């Protein structure tokens, strides 16, 4: 089932930050990780990830540097910063609330994590 594009846009920031919490990563790997996590149900244009990453860099949530892959190909690696972690925690609180609210209506048991 494809997910509504506004919802994808809202999801994108916490999703990318949460992936970067697992460790530094780069564009293509992030896209692959998203596909893997959502079983391919979360479809977005891969190209849209980069403006998002650049926005996060500009606001200081991530740090970027050029590196190289094992095969020597140029690659831009992204690391999460302290402010990125704070932003993620904040986003997580918001998503928890959203989950709880909808879950209450739909009678689901939603796992709420400690933010």
Task: Write the interaction track for another protein spanning residues 16-55; mark x where CB under 8 A is met and - where it is not.
Answer: ----------xxx--x-------------xxxx-xx--xx
* CB 62 within 8 Å of CB 18: no
Burial of 38 (0-12, 13-18, 19+ CB in 10 A): middle
Tokens of 82: 């302290």
Q: Which is nearer to another protein, 76 or 103 (CB)?
A: 76
Backbone angles phi, psi at 113, to 5 degrees: -85, 165
Tokens of 41: 């149900």
**Is residue 57 part of the contact set for another protein (CB under 8 A)?**
yes
Which of the stretches 4-12, 68-76, 90-98, 102-110 binds another protein when contact is defined by CB under 8 A? 68-76
Contacting positions for another protein (CB under 8 A): 26-28, 31, 45-48, 50-51, 54-55, 57-60, 64, 69, 73-76
């Amino acid at each position: 089932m494809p997910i509504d594009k506004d919802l994808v846009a809202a999801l994108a920031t916490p999703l990318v930050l949460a992936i970067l919490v697992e460790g530094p990563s780069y564009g293509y790997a992030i896209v692959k990780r998203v596909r893997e996590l959502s079983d391919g149900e979360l479809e977005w244009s891969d190209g849209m990830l980069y403006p998002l990453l650049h926005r996060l860099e500009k606001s200081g949530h991530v740090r970027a540097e050029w590196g190289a892959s094992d095969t020597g190909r140029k690659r831009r690696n992204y690391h999460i910063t302290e402010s990125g972690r704070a932003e993620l925690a904040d986003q997580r609180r918001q998503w928890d609330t959203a989950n709880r609210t909808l879950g209450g209506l739909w009678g689901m048991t939603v796992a709420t994590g400690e933010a």
